[in-house]
């Protein structure tokens, strides 16, 4: 090795083996990821309820005059008629 001016006593490389003598390594092995997630039944139900509430909010148009009339009928006791209660229950059932 030729010395460089200003650098004295530079050691020679220890491993001066030719490339063909070096140990060859096997390529790294890849594996498939085995991670996963699972949702509880309660979480799935909550998600479905939230989705249904969003859909209902988007698709329904609230008629305030009808809401006010219904409130007045409740106050007056008009909704105590069984047929009216059954009709209201039938309309609310799909949202439960």
The per-residue pLDDT for 49 is 92
Residues spanned by the domain of 76: 62-96
Is residue 86 situated within a structural domain? yes
Does residue 45 sit within a domain? no
User: How many domains does one find in the chain?
Assistant: 1
User: Residue 11's pLDDT is what?
Assistant: 67
* 26 within a domain of the structure (yes/no): no
pLDDT of residue 19: 64
Quick check: is 51 in a domain? no
Residue 88, domain member (yes or no): yes
Look-up: residue for tokens 């004295």? Answer: 8
62-to-49, 50, 66 alpha-carbon distances in Å: 20, 19, 8
Structure-token pair, residue 3: 């010395």
Would you state the pLDDT for residue 78? Answer: 74
Q: What is the pLDDT of residue 45?
A: 93
Contacts of 70 (CB under 8 A, 6+ apart): 79
Which residues does the chain have with pLDDT short of 70?
Answer: 1-8, 10-23, 60, 79
Q: What is the pLDDT of residue 89?
A: 86
pLDDT at 50: 92
- Please say whether the beta carbons of 78 and 84 come within 8 A: yes
């Amino acid at each position: 090795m030729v010395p460089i001016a200003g650098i004295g006593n530079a050691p020679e490389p220890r491993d001066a083996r030719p490339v063909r003598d070096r140990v060859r390594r096997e390529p790294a092995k890849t594996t498939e990821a085995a991670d996963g997630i699972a949702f509880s039944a309660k979480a799935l139900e909550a998600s479905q309820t939230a989705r249904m509430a969003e859909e209902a909010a988007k698709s329904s148009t609230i008629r305030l005059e009808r809401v006010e009339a219904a409130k007045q009928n409740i106050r007056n006791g008009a909704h105590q008629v069984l047929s009216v209660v059954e009709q209201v229950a039938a309309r609310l059932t799909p949202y439960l």
